[in-house]
């Protein structure tokens, strides 16, 4: 995947996960050659520039069993629940 394609896919994925109310994501970037992969290197800065960046509350390197240095956990804010009360006048 190209950098532009990966960036667009990341933005689309994050937006979709926010919409359905997910809070914990595992995103695999891969390590790249000599642990210097372009996607891995740019990942955090890309997240910071997304339109939905305000919904991200944490980014952590994944545990070994989930990809280690080639994957990240992304933690999203809780979605606010809409409380619908009785309509006035009824």
Where do the domains of the chain lie, and which CATH numbers do they carry? 3-76 (3.30.1370.110)
Q: Which one is predicted more confidently, 13 or 85? A: 13
DSSP state of 21: T
Q: Which one is predicted more confidently, 39 or 13? A: 13
For residue 35, pLDDT beyond 90:
no
Place of tokens 């960036």: 7
* pLDDT at site 51: 94
CA 31 vs CA 5, 17, 24: distances in Å: 18, 24, 21
CA 16 vs CA 10, 56, 66, 68: distances in Å: 10, 13, 22, 24
At 38-51, the pLDDT tens digits run 889 999 999 999 99
For residue 53, pLDDT beyond 70:
yes
Instruction: Specify the pTM.
Output: 0.81
Q: Which of helix, strand or coil describes residue 42? A: helix
| Across 54-76, average pLDDT | 96
């Amino acid at each position: 995947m190209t950098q532009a394609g990966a960036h667009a896919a990341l933005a689309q994925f994050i937006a979709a996960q926010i919409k359905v109310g997910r809070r914990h994501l595992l995103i695999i970037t891969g390590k790249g050659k000599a642990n210097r992969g372009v996607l891995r290197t740019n990942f955090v800065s890309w997240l910071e520039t997304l339109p939905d960046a305000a919904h991200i509350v944490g980014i952590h390197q994944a545990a070994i069993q989930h990809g280690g240095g080639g994957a990240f956990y992304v933690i999203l804010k809780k979605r606010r629940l809409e409380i619908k009360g009785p309509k006035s006048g009824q």
